[in-house]
Structure 1
Amino acid sequence: MAPSFNDENSLFNFVVKEGNGVKGLVDLGLTEVPDRYIQPPHHRINKKQAAGSHENLIIDLSEFDGPNHEQVVKAIAHASETLGFFQVVNHGVPLELLESL
């Protein structure tokens, strides 16, 4: 039976102080996500709204070192804060390297 982490100190100690990380929780066989890792509903991403805004999900990094640097930075920050994820294009990482990963 997997242990439960009912108090925040035991969870923090296991994950952070003992260096087990969140993966350590999975390795223990935990069957429920600890409350600390569940985002309150009012902070969650609206999936329908996010799905309808694909232009916010794709960020072109070819302009990162140019005059539009601030716009690229703002797009990354906005996607990170509101959607939690995004796709980058024109990043300059060779396809061979990506495929080898």
Structure 2
Amino acid sequence: MANYKIIAPNKSYTGISASVTFCNGVGYTENKKLLEWFIDKGYRVIDESEVNQIPLDNIEKDKIDQLEDMTTEELMLYAEEVGVDIGKTKTKEGILKKIKEAEGLGE
């Protein structure tokens, strides 16, 4: 049976949601029926059985490309949704830098 990694919108969330235990925003389940619920609530779902089949460099590049295509307003909303503190930064470049640092992208 597949194991799914669930990533909460709040990276520091520790608790139980829909019977899945989370620690620092990450939980695991084998229950495929729960996945749609988590996705609808803004969680990210990763099929752990597929992780080793996709080069991580490609995933990171795709994520960076998606972020760079966003407008300043979209980046600000994204940062708020995923819990990234952008401080007083208001420029697209500054917000993008904060998000990349928080998510460990481009290192």
TM-score range, shorter chain: under 0.3
- Give the TM-score taking structure 1 as reference length: 0.27
- Give the TM-score taking structure 2 as reference length: 0.26
Give the helix-richer structure, 1 or 2.
1
